[in-house]
Structure 1
């Protein structure tokens, strides 16, 4: 993990194409899936290419509190040794604002004999979890969430039920993934079915299914909205984690805005994560599409929106309502901060975000000496995406740069490695 960062960074525009080689960190989404599945498998699993960040550290710590041995042989590996069963922790599991860890463990702890409280920080306590709790209760699992958000209390009896369970996945695909990953501990086959066809970022369910199969689960898609899971449990395995496609979007944004070329060591087509679809859209800059459906690449939307600010023509982002229940309301946050750069640059229209692109934006602000302080709302993606604006506009100040530690602790070092000057700012 990096040393303590200053309260803010002022980004000095490099005024040249940025080139070089950058290895993105491992996928946060896949790392947390693999950590949990390894903890639910009897034996020792070695995870390579893993992300070490705030979210994955919180997941690993929670697993240790439930009797799993999680060693860290190097900076990108975990070695997980487990009996194949979690045990009740001595106290509540605190998971900060890690959505994957919170949702995944809420289902997984139902396999424990005993009572477990899954909790998070003040931001996590505003993020909905009721659909998952309702689904667990329908399986006969005692689960309570008085506010519909964490904390959640789960009183498990070591079993996960059987039969059909319906889940509303429209707010988050993480609810679906959570049920699927716990389902191999059912008393019999479990069918996980969506209550409707809407699901937030379906591609992440595909990541879940691939990881489950790698650890020995027997899971099949019955149709577009349901999956059948056999009660096989999991077996330990060695598993390699691909680079993080959401992190790669910032590198693609750097290429587009500066006219540079960055070698990521992996082509966009090689990613299995849904955010990789953003590469083609970002690469179309400065002629990005007039309408971009962000429903299946939600974490890439802030990056695309900042790039779109400099596009030749306006861009409307649709299908992004779920961004309102992320680490912060990202639709509002992106609109607020784009308008902080230049009033009227962004408009919220319902749950759409309209970016009133201006190809002359950078030149029109070139002579402005006053600082533009970007509020990051404790949200790593707001900080990292708006840093891209500072590559073209002078005096962009990113507040609370340390928040990037949630998924990309080396983000600011990465910018420096490409020749971007960062001035520590009070």
Structure 2
């Protein structure tokens, strides 16, 4: 876990004084935007990513693909993408991954398809996040990679083509290992077959999202056997795509309805989606909220007495681990015990989220116990104080949720939310 920053840049989280009623329009999904950008860069012609999320992670992806020879025009909310060329103009490129796991993992397989050396690095914490399985898989496919201990920094030496074939990986640390190889697999000479051997893969909906987007572009994907995926070689058809709202980013806003006893509508909630954030509908209903579809989107109404009426949860969040910080924050406020399991893998996200949540919620008085694969929480009286975020946007979401119920919460480095939601703090404050 990253060490907390000094007590600087502390943001007083606003606290509710009664039921809030709001309608919010969320930025586009980071997961969908970055997958769409990669596929557009690998496509057989130009395409447009409409209502693209403009955030640090997506701009890093646009710059990474531009470094590989694509062009990504980010001047408006509809981003026009022209695909990769054959060779890097100078024979070398550099990719800044920042704190974006999708850039660190999705771009290296594409880098094998251009001629030249592509050097990858990122923020200091990214050097601790796992990527070795992808680098080993690329070597198996004939791509030369220079790295130290399977982590950043590393260099991919592309030759303009990747032979393809079968790789066996352990994707138990991240579903992105599978998605990264599938996204580029159609452009490999013989396609790719990915087999997983290890503990169950977390966040399977993200692999389903990848497969759906590939099929939408005419790519044949065989996923009929557990822990095996095969992508046939062929063209990736250029396709304009409109990005759905980021449903994981909906978590703090819908939590605000639960905390205040008010009602929040998220506009344009899709009727069918592969986003993990759609699980919020079930999770919040189980905690005592009323959840209903309305003509404009999705409405959540909290218990009449707000957070005091919330019920605890016993739930396996293995497939939707990105929701764990927001859910844990609500469980810390709930009036009955909770146990969140199946999320050991979130220790490898932007920070060790289990350790961070236990430390920060506990620091405000929560009765929280950290387990190898999750957290247990019991009702307790919380008080104000500093809530560190560890440069992790989801930790900041947890902090503002607690702050909505508990006066005096100071969220450190709330600007880290810019990873997926520009000006989150201003937007959040405006709701109060």
Question: TM-score, normalized by length of structure 1?
Answer: 0.90
Q: 1:288 to 1:110 in 2, by over 3 A?
A: farther
What RMSD over aligned residues (CA atoms) do the two structures have, in Å? 1.9
Correspondence for 1:3: none
Once residues 14 and 278 of structure 1 are traced to their aligned partners in structure 2, the CA distance between those partners, rounded to angstroms, is 21
Name the structure 2 match of 1:388: 401
Distance 1:109 1:158, change over 3 A: same
The question of 1:324 aligning with 2:386 is answered no
The answer on whether the counterparts of 2:206 and 2:275 sit within 8 Å (CA) in structure 1 is yes
Q: Secondary structure at the residue paired with 1:390?
A: helix
Change (3 A) 1:340 1:86: farther
Task: Give the structure 2 partner of residue 65 of structure 1.
Answer: 67
User: Are the equivalent residues in 2 in contact too, given 1:269–1:276 (CA < 8 A)?
Assistant: no
The C-alpha deviation readout for 1:83-138, integer Å capped at 9, x for no partner, is 56573764321111110111001221111222211211101111011111111122
Match of 1:208 among 207, 210, 224: 210
Question: How many correspondences in the alignment?
Answer: 403
2:420 to 392, 407, 415: 407
Q: Give the TM-score taking structure 2 as reference length.
A: 0.89
Structure 1 runs not aligned, ≥5 long: 1-5, 366-370, 420-426
Runs of at least 5 residues in structure 2 that lack an aligned partner in the other structure:
1-7, 288-308
Determine which structure has greater relative contact order: mean sequence separation of CA pairs < 8 Å that are 6+ residues apart, divided by chain length. 1
- For the pair 1:298 / 2:303, whether they are aligned, the reply is no
Contact map agreement 1:23 1:265 (CA 8 A) in 2: yes
What's the CA shift for 1:339? 0.9
Question: What residue number does 1:97 align with?
Answer: 99
Look up the match of 1:349: 371
Q: How does 1:224-243 map to 2 (within 5 A)?
A: 224-243=226-245
SS in 2 for 1:186: coil
3-state DSSP of counterpart to 2:12: strand
> Separation in 1 of the partners of 2:389 and 2:268?
29
Structure 2 CA distance for aligned equivalents of residues 34 and 61 of structure 1: 14
CA distance in 2, matches of 1:247, 1:281: 15
Deviation at 1:319, TM superposition (A): 0.6
Distance 1:80 1:275 in 2: 27
Task: Give the whole-Å Cα distance in 2 for the aligned partners of 1:372 and 1:289.
Answer: 23
* Residue 140 of structure 1, aligned match among 136, 139, 142: 142
Post-superposition Cα deviations, 1:273-318, rounded to whole Å, max 9, x if no partner, equal 0222133212332454542111111110000000001112111111
Task: Indicate if the aligned counterparts of 1:275 and 1:296 stay in contact, CA closer than 8 A.
Answer: no
Partner of 2:273: 271
Q: Give yes or no for contact 2:163–2:189 (8 Å, CA) kept in 1.
A: yes
Contact 2:97 2:120 survives alignment (8 Å): yes
Q: Which moved more, 1:150-159 or 1:121-130?
A: 150-159
Distance across 2 between alignment mates of 1:28 and 1:216: 23
> Matches of residues 14-413 of structure 1 in structure 2 within 5 Å?
14-74=16-76, 76-83=77-84, 87=88, 90-196=92-198, 198-267=200-269, 269-285=271-287, 286=309, 288=311, 290-342=313-365, 345-358=367-380, 361=381, 365=383, 372-413=385-426
Structure 1: how far apart are the matches of 2:13 and 2:276? 30
- Secondary structure of the equivalent of 2:130? coil
Which region of structure 1 is more displaced relative to structure 2, 299-308 or 288-297? Answer: 288-297
- Is the CA contact 1:201–1:298 (under 8 Å) kept in the aligned structure 2? yes
Change (3 A) 1:197 1:328: closer
Report the Cα distance in structure 2 between the residues aligned to 1:377 and 1:186, rounded to whole angstroms.
38
Cα offset, 1:267, TM superposition: 3.9
Matches of 2:194 and 2:110, distance apart in 1: 15
CA distance in 1, matches of 2:412, 2:46: 41
Shift of 1:14: 2.2
